Chains A and B, each alone.
Chain A
Amino acid sequence: MPELRLEHIRKYYKGLPAVAEIDYVFHPGVYGLLGANGAGKTTLLRMIVGVLQPDFGRILCNQQEISHMGGEYRRMLGYLPQEFGYYPNFTVHRYLRYLAELKAVPPELAEERIDETLEKMGLQSLKRQRMKNLSGGMIRRVGIAQSLLNDPDILVLDEPTAGLDPKERIRFRNLVSELGRERIVILSSHIVSDIECFADEFLMMKAGKQAQSGSLTQICSHIKGRVWESLETLESARRLSQEFVVSSMKNMDDGSIRVRMLSERKPAKHAEPAEPGLEDAFLYYMTR
């Protein structure tokens, strides 16, 4: 069972902190890395997979520093970068075969692994298609398939659901839940609903720092009593949205508007406390 430990990780880019002091321990399970664009998620993931070196701190895998493990660490990895590249003239099969060789998948097992991952991602029929002829969603699926080729212990997926249609999202969600049982799966997204339902733990990042972490229940419990809902007129809803952080507004049949907002105190006369969700927590920590 792998363990991945981040100790005081810092990374500067042109003098500015892209990641500032992250401490975290990953055990087998599915982790959701949440943060707004530019929060440092991609930089952190790049350091975890070893393509970037931290300026300070260290990353340990099973008590060994990953920079000292070299190929043995990379052997344990599956990675889907945010900007997923491919050779346009390669067929899907040739592309996966190429990456299987780079990942040191034994030649006698490579075909079996390719077929298995293609099947998992519903791509069997596209095996002979050239990469340049695939749609954005299909390319993303090939990206997820390649990350599984070497049956990795640590799977790092940067914005994996971008471009996937609802059916593929469900397939992906089920696949990740299954994979997370015996390995570390780290997913990043700036869309909360994409990972809310299947991640076991969440790590929220803001301006390179760890804003909050924990399970859904733990994170939500921190903001209990700060989420409110009330039925308002259009005018008062507008006023509330200027005064408070509003997480949603919904038009009701009777013409009123149900406003869901974050506030330390009761924001309106008719406001009632509501059960917090991950989206509320995300908004709370990002706007604090």
Chain B
Amino acid sequence: MKNKGITLEEIPTEGKAQVLEQLQEAVKAKSIRYSPTLLQTVLGQIKYLSLPALGGQITCLFLIFIMCSYLERSRAQLMLWLGTGSVLAACLGVFLMLELCRSSSFHMVELEQSCYLNVKQLWCVKMIIFGCLDLLVLSVLIAGVSKNVACGMFPVILYLLVPFVISSGLQFLVFTVFRRGRREYLQMCAAVFISIVSLLPLSEPELYTLACLGVWMLALLAGIILLAAEIVWMYRTLCSGSEWYTVEL
């Protein structure tokens, strides 16, 4: 059998251009699916964080540097270090809450909840960002305090984490209970109140001895449970919906 080979027909230039144009249109009409990664989302959201929240957190970091150098120079006692550290640690949680308040204060919850990256995910991203900043600030604080007191690093971590965790839990409680309207001032009042409360253990110096470490560990555990329960409750109320939106049904 004779192999005739394959001869391709010449495509007319006009038809070719038309087909190409149709292809281009089809490609243009096809929706491009974009699913940002967690890192892209975190980086993308940083630029939209509110100035008071982010600025406050950074100011807190500077305050800790200033406080550490001042207390170091004045050769402060253990209780003064722990007192100042507890107040600062208790205040830290408020900056995240100021950021979370923004959505409901400006009636954005409903709109944001209907987006691909919804409020649940958005708040999660904000908690990650502020959680990392809190960890950085707390690390500086713990390093500064433990360098200058004789009780060791582990007890200092406990003494400072307890007011931080309990204050964050209570901040979430205020945030979830009072869902509507502008409540930044309420969150700030709660922070001041919790800071004052965090000074109470200082009236019993025995609490800061090795014998009471178990009490601090239990307090930390209770604080973590409270914080976790508050976050779960906040997300549950968000799923049920209506209370976060300002218009009555």
Contact surface of A with B, Cβ cutoff 8 Å: 11, 13, 18, 40, 42-43, 46, 49-53, 71, 74-75, 77, 79, 81-88, 98-99, 101-107, 109, 146, 150-151
Interface size on B, residues (CB 8 A): 32
Chain B residues with CB below 8 A from A107, complex form: 34
**A-B contacts, 26 listed (Cβ < 8 Å):** A13-B242, A18-B249, A42-B247, A42-B249, A46-B242, A71-B118, A74-B114, A74-B115, A75-B116, A81-B114, A82-B247, A83-B246, A85-B110, A85-B111, A86-B108, A98-B48, A99-B111, A101-B36, A101-B44, A101-B45, A102-B112, A103-B115, A104-B35, A104-B36, A105-B34, A106-B34
Task: Provide the main secondary structure of the chain B interface.
Answer: loop
Do B107 and A87 touch across chains, with their CB atoms under 8 A apart?
no
How far is A83 from B111 in the complex, measured between Cα atoms in Å?
A: 9
A173 to B35, CA, bound (A): 33
Query: Which residue on chain A has the smallest CB distance to residue B40?
Result: A107
In the complex the two chains form, is B35's CB within 8 Å of A79's CB? Answer: no
Which residues from chain A contact B106 at a C-beta distance below 8 Å? 85-88
B239 within 8 A of partner (CB): yes
- Closest partner residue, chain A, to B122 (CB atom): A102
Given A13-B249, A53-B239, 18 other A-B contacts at CB below 8 A?
Answer: A18-B249, A40-B249, A42-B249, A46-B241, A50-B113, A51-B113, A71-B117, A74-B116, A81-B114, A83-B107, A83-B110, A84-B111, A85-B106, A85-B110, A86-B108, A101-B45, A102-B116, A103-B116
B245 contacts the other chain (CB 8 A): yes
Q: What is the distance, in angstroms, from B120's C-beta to the closest C-beta of chain A?
A: 10
* Cβ-defined contact, A53 with B240, below 8 A: yes
Q: How far is the CA of A46 from the CA of B244 in the complex (A)?
A: 12
Determine how close the nearest CB of chain B comes to the CB of A17; give it in whole angstroms: 10
Instruction: Provide the residues of chain B in CB contact with A150, threshold 8 Å.
Output: 116
Q: Which residue of A lies closest to B247 (CB)?
A: A83
Query: Which residue from chain B places its CB closest to the CB of A99 in the assembled complex?
Result: B115
Q: Which of B40-58 contact A (CB under 8 A)?
A: 44-45, 48
Indicate if B32 sits at the interface (CB-CB under 8 A): yes
Check A53–B34 contact: CB distance below 8 A.
no
Q: Closest A-chain residue to B102, C-beta based? A: A87
A88 → chain B closest CB, angstroms = 7
Closest chain A residue, CB of each to CB of B105: A85
Interface: B31 (CB within 8 A): yes
Q: Are B31 and A151 in contact, CB atoms less than 8 angstroms apart?
A: yes
Return the contact of B118 from the options A74, A83, A98, A101 (Cβ within 8 A): A74
Please name the 6 residue pairs, one residue from A and one from B, whose CB atoms are nearest each other, closest first.
A85-B107, A102-B115, A106-B34, A85-B108, A104-B116, A79-B114
Chain A residue at smallest Cβ distance from B106: A85
Chain B residues numbered 61-83 whose CB sits less than 8 Å from any CB in chain A? none
A101 touches B242 (CB 8 A): no
Determine the chain A residues whose CB is within 8 A of the CB of B241 once the complex forms: 46, 51-53
Residues of B contacting A101 in the complex (Cβ-Cβ under 8 angstroms):
36, 44-45, 48, 117
**Is the CB–CB distance between B108 and A51 below 8 Å?**
no
Enumerate chain B residues within 8 angstroms of A75, measured Cβ to Cβ.
33, 116
Q: Looking across the interface, which residue of chain A has its beta carbon closest to that of B119?
A: A51
Report which residue of A88, A101, A107 has the largest number of chain B beta carbons within 10 angstroms of its beta carbon: A101
Smallest beta-carbon distance A159→chain B, Å? 10
- Please measure, in the bound complex, the distance between the C-alpha atom of A103 and the C-alpha atom of B106, giving whole angstroms: 19
Q: Are A50 and B114 in contact (CB under 8 A)?
A: yes
State how many angstroms separate the Cβ of A92 from the closest Cβ of chain B.
15
Take A42-B249, A106-B34 as given contacts and tell me if A52 and B116 are in contact as well, using a CB distance cutoff of 8 Å: no
Q: Which A residues lie within 8 Å of B116 (CB)?
A: 71, 74-75, 102-104, 150
Docked CA distance A179–B192 (Å)? 52
